[in-house]
Amino acid sequence: MAANIQTIGVIGAGQMGNGIAHVCALAGFPVMLNDISPDRIKAGLATINGNMTRQVSKNTISEDARKSALALIKPAEKYEDLVNCDLVIESATEKEDVKRKIFADLCAVIKPEAIVATNTSSISITRLAASTDRPENFIGIHFMNPVPLMELVELIRGIATNDSTFEASKTFISKLHKTIAVSEDFPAFIVNRILLPMINEAIYTLYEGVGNVEAIDTAMRLGAHHPMGPLELADFIGLDTCLSVMQVLHEGLADSKYRPCPLLVKYVEAGWLGRKTKRGFYDYRGEKPVPTR
């Protein structure tokens, strides 16, 4: 019998975490939002409010839906505040040691039957599950960015994940009106295993001088009907995130085709991480983005 998921905990109030809290509350789930400081939680709540207000102005949701959804999200400054959650989704930074520490501290205080999920985009679910006291109640629920807009969720079982955890997670995702793609637990799962090597190849194309930034992005937008060129998309994702996924693929599958492009490494070393630092393959400091190569 599948567990009944009613109250959701979200760890991490950043871009992904606040997006997850946003869609859960709109679907009618009470949400406890946690981060390492009250200020970060406050900033996450402000972002959710802003994003929901935008949805109201576009007639995607009603003003009443916005108000009732916001009322369902409560700040949780410590893990003890998540004690009544049926499902806790970790959406912290993409570093395994950080995630392991969170799970160790979290599992010590939440109820034994609670399901623990990670929103990792590339790290082994089996390995993360093994660092908890409940590998059978542990699962990968990988939302796409930006969460309120993207229709897909990847669902990944670890080797120990039991059927009731899997079924309960499937039911939960369907209540969010998202579509599920079930992936096996291999590095980067489905979307990033296909998408990131394509972005890495676009960076190699730039590195080898086959085309400049503008030519590459125009070619893929107009020649392959991609809504965004691969270099523009890399800037949107964050070049540090792109690099870390490529490193996970390269180390986890030991195939030279996943070798991160040296130019990507150089940009990350320069601190040019894309939109969030105002410079990446484009410079965002002026009125409109200008290619940097």
Q: Which 8-state DSSP code applies to residue 12?
A: -
The pLDDT score that the predictor gives to residue 1 is 45
- Order the strands of the 115-118 sheet from edge to edge: 73-76, 31-34, 8-11, 87-90, 115-118, 138-143, 152-157, 179-183
The pLDDT score that the predictor gives to residue 134 is 97
Q: Is 121 a catalytic residue?
A: yes
Distances (CA, A) of 158 to 56, 81, 185: 38, 27, 6
Helix (H, G, I), strand (E, B) or coil at 282: strand
Q: Is 192 a catalytic residue?
A: yes
Per-residue buried b or exposed e for 274-291, using 16+ beta carbons within 10 Å of the residue's own CB: bbbeebbbbebeeeebeb
Q: What is the largest CA-CA distance in the chain?
A: 57
* Residue among 142, 169, 200, 244 flagged as catalytic: 142
The rounded distance, in Å, linking the Cα atoms of 31 and 172 is 13
Q: Is 142 a catalytic residue?
A: yes
- Domains parsed from the chain with CATH numbers: 8-183 (3.40.50.720), 192-291 (1.10.1040.10)
* Residue among 91, 121, 200, 244 flagged as catalytic: 121
Distances (CA, A) of 219 to 194, 198, 235, 246: 19, 13, 17, 23
Nearest to 172 by CA among 145, 144, 150, 143: 143
* Residue among 90, 94, 154, 232 flagged as catalytic: 154
Is the pTM of the predicted complex or chain greater than 0.85?
Answer: yes
* Residue among 91, 122, 137, 192 flagged as catalytic: 192
Q: Is 96 a catalytic residue?
A: no
Q: Which 8-state DSSP code applies to residue 269?
A: H
pLDDT in tens for each of the 293 residues of the chain? 456 899 999 999 999 999 999 999 999 999 999 999 999 999 999 999 999 999 999 999 999 999 999 999 999 999 999 999 999 999 998 889 999 999 999 999 999 999 999 999 989 999 999 999 999 999 999 999 999 999 999 999 999 999 999 999 999 999 999 999 999 999 999 999 999 999 999 999 999 999 999 999 999 999 999 999 999 999 999 999 999 999 999 999 999 999 999 999 999 999 999 999 999 999 999 999 999 99
